[in-house]
């Protein structure tokens, strides 16, 4: 079943008539229409692109003329003059286009909407009877369709290609931004398109063991630990991956032990993950295993991934929902040691009918 139809069914279940999507990620997940994101909200838009979906699975997309014509799925499309060779009232054109699409499709009754992205600019244009449904939508999106599984696999493969390139380029004398640029470019060539990117490439004990530091101009030296987290967006879907390794393949004993623990815990994750397992139990299993080996991490054990780089379910101690088949899950045990360096071992797993599989394996060694 297409995600438009699945969303229509959710709208019915919720006792509503129409869903209004305004998140770039949700729009892509439901319709396949890719909203450009890399420069933030486009200066040629009057507001976030909008998708309207009925309980019967009729869908319409409204977007600026700079993003139209993708014909990515089974929906009507209406573009408005965002870019034009004249003084342009983008918000006015946007409002008019959404009104026209709503009239054309016959939007009425009760709507459900996304609280984190619904714009005030539309508040007087759509039916007053409205309820946020972010959590229900997140649950729907967590289970991927056949089309999405293909896109997720491609994105994970691009990340894996990036991980191999990171090993090749991480040599003494290069600097972080230089190596990162080479990795990103390799992923773009593999994807055949520009990619948005999330992640980090940090070198040396101090940088690799500090969470949240930006990629900079530090020069790599022999023996440097590296944390390399690569998340490319390909055709609107995110890959993700992380490894820790050492320049010159001369890891310290401490770094080797940490890597072995993270990798072992990731292997445990692959064998434990299955439909019906509670997320918090899985999270607890992974944390306990790391602890038994003498390590811990201050963040989630992982997260769902799809048209958003982090999405439901987040692997945290109080998430009581159950894994389902065709969820895509990042698992990322690691530790950040001031005297050794930091690392995570992170791969994408697909929940299968009976267990889990690594979507796009790459070489998870530290030297």
| Shortest CB 212 distance to a copy of itself, Å | 8
Encoded one letter per residue, x for contact with a copy of itself by CB under 8 A and - for no contact, window 212-251 reads x-xxxx---------------x------------------
User: What are the backbone angles phi and psi of residue 291, rounded to the nearest 5°?
Assistant: -65, -40
Encoded one letter per residue, x for contact with a copy of itself by CB under 8 A and - for no contact, window 285-314 reads -------------xxx-------xxxx--x
As a residue count, the chain comes to 367
- By CB under 8 A, tell whether 188 contacts a copy of itself: yes
Sorted by sequence, the CB contacts under 8 Å of residue 289 that are 6+ apart come out as 264, 265, 268, 333
Residue with tokens 């390799």: 186
Our CB check for a copy of itself shows the closer of 108 and 296 to be 296
| Contact predicate 242/332, CB 8 Å | yes
Piece in contact with a copy of itself (CB under 8 A), picked from 109-117, 247-255, 268-276, 353-361: 109-117
CA 253, 333, 182, 188: dihedral to nearest 10 degrees? 160
- By CB under 8 A, tell whether 68 contacts a copy of itself: no
Separation CA 147–CA 155 (nearest Å): 13
Question: Considering only residues 3, 54, 90, 145, which one is a binding residue for a copy of itself as defined by CB under 8 A?
Answer: 90
Size of the site for a copy of itself (CB under 8 A): 70
Our CB check for a copy of itself shows the closer of 88 and 326 to be 88
Piece in contact with a copy of itself (CB under 8 A), picked from 44-52, 140-148, 252-260, 326-334: 44-52
Pairing of strands 225-234, 242-246: antiparallel
Separation CA 295–CA 326 (nearest Å): 30
Our CB check for a copy of itself shows the closer of 1 and 115 to be 115
Our CB check for a copy of itself shows the closer of 1 and 83 to be 83
Q: 276 is written with which tokens?
A: 């019906």
DSSP notation for 166-231: HHHH--TT-BHHHHHHHHHHHHHHHHTS--EEEEEEEEHHHHHTSTTPPP--PBP-TT-EEEEEEE
- By CB under 8 A, tell whether 99 contacts a copy of itself: no
Our CB check for a copy of itself shows the closer of 75 and 94 to be 94
Our CB check for a copy of itself shows the closer of 134 and 206 to be 134
| Contact predicate 362/160, CB 8 Å | yes
Separation CA 367–CA 362 (nearest Å): 14
> Which residue from 265, 327, 257 is spatially nearest to 291, judged by alpha carbons?
265
- By CB under 8 A, tell whether 182 contacts a copy of itself: yes
Question: Could you tell me how far CA 275 lies from the centroid of its own chain?
Answer: 21
- By CB under 8 A, tell whether 271 contacts a copy of itself: no
Piece in contact with a copy of itself (CB under 8 A), picked from 22-30, 100-108, 158-166, 345-353: 22-30
Separation CA 144–CA 133 (nearest Å): 19
- By CB under 8 A, tell whether 276 contacts a copy of itself: no
Separation CA 167–CA 367 (nearest Å): 9
| Shortest CB 185 distance to a copy of itself, Å | 2
- By CB under 8 A, tell whether 272 contacts a copy of itself: no
Piece in contact with a copy of itself (CB under 8 A), picked from 1-9, 186-194, 221-229, 329-337: 186-194
Residues engaged in binding a copy of itself (CB under 8 A): 23-25, 35, 37-41, 43-47, 66, 84-88, 90-91, 94, 113, 115-123, 132, 134, 175, 177-178, 180-182, 184-186, 188-189, 192-194, 196-198, 212, 214-217, 233, 298-300, 308-311, 314, 316-319
């Amino acid at each position: 079943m297409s995600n438009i139809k699945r969303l229509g069914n959710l709208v019915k279940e919720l006792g509503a008539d129409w869903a209004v999507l305004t998140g770039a990620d949700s729009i892509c997940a439901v319709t396949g229409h890719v909203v450009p994101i890399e420069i933030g909200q486009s200066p040629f838009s009057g507001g976030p692109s909008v998708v309207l979906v009925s309980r019967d699975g009729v869908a319409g997309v409204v977007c600026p003329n700079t993003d139209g014509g993708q014909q990515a799925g089974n929906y009507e499309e209406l573009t408005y003059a965002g870019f034009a060779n004249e003084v342009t009232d983008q918000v006015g054109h946007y409002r008019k286009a959404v009104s026209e699409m709503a009239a054309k499709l016959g939007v009425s009754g009760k709507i459900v909407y996304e609280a984190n992205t619904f714009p005030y600019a539309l508040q007087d244009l759509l039916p007053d009877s409205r309820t946020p449904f972010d959590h229900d939508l997140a649950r729907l999106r967590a289970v991927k369709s056949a089309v999405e599984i293909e896109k997720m696999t491609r994105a994970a493969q691009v990340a894996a290609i990036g991980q191999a390139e990171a090993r090749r380029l991480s040599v003494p004398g290069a600097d972080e931004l230089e190596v990162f640029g080479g990795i990103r470019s390799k992923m773009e060539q593999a994807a055949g398109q520009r990619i948005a990117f999330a992640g980090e490439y940090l070198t040396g004990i101090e940088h690799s063991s500090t969470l949240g530091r930006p990629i900079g101009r530090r020069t790599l030296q022999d023996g440097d630990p590296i944390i390399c987290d690569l998340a490319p967006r390909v055709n609107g879907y995110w890959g993700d991956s992380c490894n820790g390794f050492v320049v010159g393949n001369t890891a310290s004993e401490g770094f080797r032990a940490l890597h072995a623990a993270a990798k072992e815990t990731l292997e445990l994750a692959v064998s434990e993950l299955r439909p019906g397992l509670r997320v918090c139990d899985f999270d607890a299993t992974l944390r306990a295993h790391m602890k038994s080996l003498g390590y811990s991490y201050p963040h989630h054990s992982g997260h769902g991934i799809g048209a958003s780089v982090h999405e439901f379910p987040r692997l945290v101690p109080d998430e009581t929902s159950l894994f389902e088949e065709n969820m895509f899950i990042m698992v990322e045990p690691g530790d950040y040691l001031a005297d050794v360096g930091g690392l995570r071992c992170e791969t994408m797993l697909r929940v299968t009918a009976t267990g889990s599989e690594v979507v796009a394996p790459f070489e998870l060694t530290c030297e």
